Amino acid sequence: MSSYILAIDQGTTGSRAVIFDTEGRVVGKDSQEFKQIFPQPGWVEHDPEDIWHSVTTVIGNAIKTAGISEDKIAAIGITNQRETTVLWDKSSGKPIHNAIVWQDRRTADFCQKLKKSGHEKKFKTKTGLVLDPYFSGTKVRWLLDHVSGAKQSAAAGNLAFGTIDSFLLWRLTNGSVHATDVSNASRTLMMDLKTLNWDDELCKILGVTSKVLPEIKPSVGVFGHTKNMSGLRDGIPISGIAGDQQAALFGQACFEVGEAKCTYGTGSFLLLNTGSKQITSKSGCLTTVAWQFNGKTTYALEGSAFICGAAVQWLRDGLGIIKSSSEVEDLANSVENTGGVQFVPAFVGLGSPHWDPDGRGVICGITRGTTKAHMARATLEGMAMQNVELLTAMQKDLKKNLKSLKVDGGASANNLLMQTQADYLGVSCIRPQNVETTSAGAAFMAGLGVGIWKDFSDLRKIWIKDIQFKPKMKTGDRKIRLTHWLQAVEKA
């Protein structure tokens, strides 16, 4: 009987389900957006029930489009928007508040308080992260402080904390499994990178009781089995879980030290495989767990820009410059350059290497001759220039230059953006035939977890290059462009 793998890719603006066969080919998929909630400037929330509904809907539709029966699903992999935080009641399974999204900046003051108290170095050393509202730990603290009765319920062991992977795992197993994987746990400010366990001292500083925390497990292996799920038979193993960016690194077959990828989604995320070695960044990047497989832990350096594809959505929804996101490439291509316009899309602060939660978006260089085409091109260039800063910082930490960068995510389909990225980076950008690399990573892990594939060599055979974008810009022009970008960033 043929075997298929279901990958659940729960993202920031929508959920996807992708069905893969044992050759790594996509045979069915579906996606659905859900509501974004903005209670105040800098605050971003999701209704977890909206997320769950979208996930169950796309699972059913993906199986239908694949033309298979549910009994042929051999394994499930989960990949998810990281850092987004949910607290739910263990008895009812109901969330006690909207999920606080990774983009949310409401805990900036608490982060500053922790820094002033002298805790920054301790968190950086143990977790590889910086004290920033981006991460889950301060979001949990906010929920405990601001939801009536939450502290008391947590202390009594009645609440469960999870990033979205944990929440989905709980629901898929009918509340029988409360767990996460090392990659997601490494993004909470509460896990020690060396021991791969929750750190009691850090949890105490954050004011988070261990009673709400999920069990930390390897990324590859059986977490639990489906139970009482509409549209899925009981007993399907959930055998691979990783945060979306780590899953994309895995799906890009970046298994060797020094291999790197950039995912263009709501934000943009550069990850560089550093193998078994934890490299402490001196350039504003993060040290994170990439995955754990067969008893071996792989680490990575990461740089992230909080807004990437979301900037194009803003052109569509906020300004009405385009009717659909796919129009931005043709519009930007209608002009040769930005006409001097610079756009720094720091809508929810600046991520690495700046880590400025109070930063905000900047558009400068506008003249009477500026058109919507110039704005569209400036948006794409701004998305690319953010990544130049990230890769430059990583190369300093790694102490060598990369030869190429693998690219994926929705916006990687934009050829102008990819060529611009290669030009400004000064390295080739390689796009695979299957740009569903986040979903592929989750599927690869799940398949390894149940023995469909034996090792990395099996997965390398599946990864196939599509287009290589080679840099065409002269070094001098590249340096000038970077100087102008940094001047605009100073205004953000």
What pLDDT is stored for residue 1 in this prediction? 46
Partnered with residue 286 across adjacent β-strands are 302
Residue 483 covered by a domain: no
Would the pLDDT of 288 be above 50?
yes
442-457 average pLDDT score: 94
Q: Is 64 inside a domain boundary? A: yes
Residue 155 within a domain: yes
Give the residue among 102, 126, 118 at the shortest CA–CA distance from 184: 102
In the numeric block, which tokens belong to residue 132? 């920033």
The total number of structural domains in the chain stands at: 1
CA 243 to chain centre: 6
- Strands 73-80 and 237-243 turn out to be parallel
Does residue 411 surpass a pLDDT of 80? yes
Section 339-351 average pLDDT = 83
pLDDT reading at 447 higher than 80 = yes
For residue 137, give its domain range: 4-245
* Percent residues over pLDDT 70 in the chain: 99
Say if residue 27's pLDDT is above 90.
yes
Q: Average of pLDDT values for 210-236?
A: 95
Backbone angles phi and psi of 348, in degrees to 5 = -125, 35
> Where are the alpha helices (H) located in 399-436, listed in sequence order?
415-425
Name the average pLDDT for the chain: 91
Within a domain: 117: yes
**Which residue spans within 228-324 are E strands per DSSP?**
237-243, 260-264, 268-275, 286-293, 296-305
Give the distance between the most distant pair of CA atoms in the chain.
Answer: 66
pLDDT of residue 492: 65
Three-class DSSP category at 434: coil
Q: Which contiguous run of DSSP H or E holds residue 80?
A: strand 73-80
What is the per-residue pLDDT across 30-82, written as a single tens digit (0 to 9) for each? 999 999 999 998 899 999 999 999 999 999 999 999 999 888 999 999 999 99
Does residue 206 lie within any of the structural domains? yes
CB 133 within 8 A of CB 188: no
Contact in structure between 265 and 12 (CB atoms under 8 Å): yes
Radius of gyration of the chain (CA): 21
236: domain CATH number? 3.30.420.40
- 325 domain residue, yes or no: no
Kindly report, residue by residue over 458-484, the tens digit of the pLDDT: 999 888 889 999 999 888 888 888 888
Instruction: Identify which of 268, 304, 303 has the alpha carbon closest to the alpha carbon of residue 410.
Output: 268
Q: Which range (39-43, 162-166, 267-271, 280-284) has the least confidence?
A: 280-284
Share of the chain above pLDDT 90, in %: 64
Please state, in angstroms and as integers, the Cα–Cα distance from residue 454 to each residue in 3, 165, 222, 294, 444, following that order.
Answer: 15, 24, 15, 11, 10
| pLDDT tens readout for residues 9-18 | 999 889 999 9
Question: What integer is the mean pLDDT of 263-279?
Answer: 87
**In three state form, how does the secondary structure of 353-398 look?**
CCCECCCCCEEECCCCCCCHHHHHHHHHHHHHHHHHHHHHHHHHHH
Bridge-based pairing state of the strands 286-293 and 296-305: antiparallel
**For residue 428, what pLDDT is reported?**
93
Confidence at residue 34, expressed as pLDDT on a 0 to 100 scale: 93
Please tell me the predicted confidence (pLDDT) of residue 13. 86
Residue 183 structure tokens: 């990659």
Q: Is residue 367 part of a domain?
A: no
Angstrom CA distances, 173 to 127, 167, 176, 223, 395, stand at 29, 10, 5, 9, 42
What would the mean pLDDT of 433-459 be, rounded to a whole number? 92
| 273 in any annotated domain | no
Q: Given this model, what pLDDT does residue 2 score?
A: 65
Per the CB < 8 A criterion, the answer to whether 176 and 182 are in contact is no
Confidence at 391, pLDDT banded by 50, 70, 90: confident
Establish how many alpha carbons lie within 13 A of residue 395's alpha carbon, considering only the half-sphere containing its beta carbon.
15
* Residue 358 scores a pLDDT above 80: no
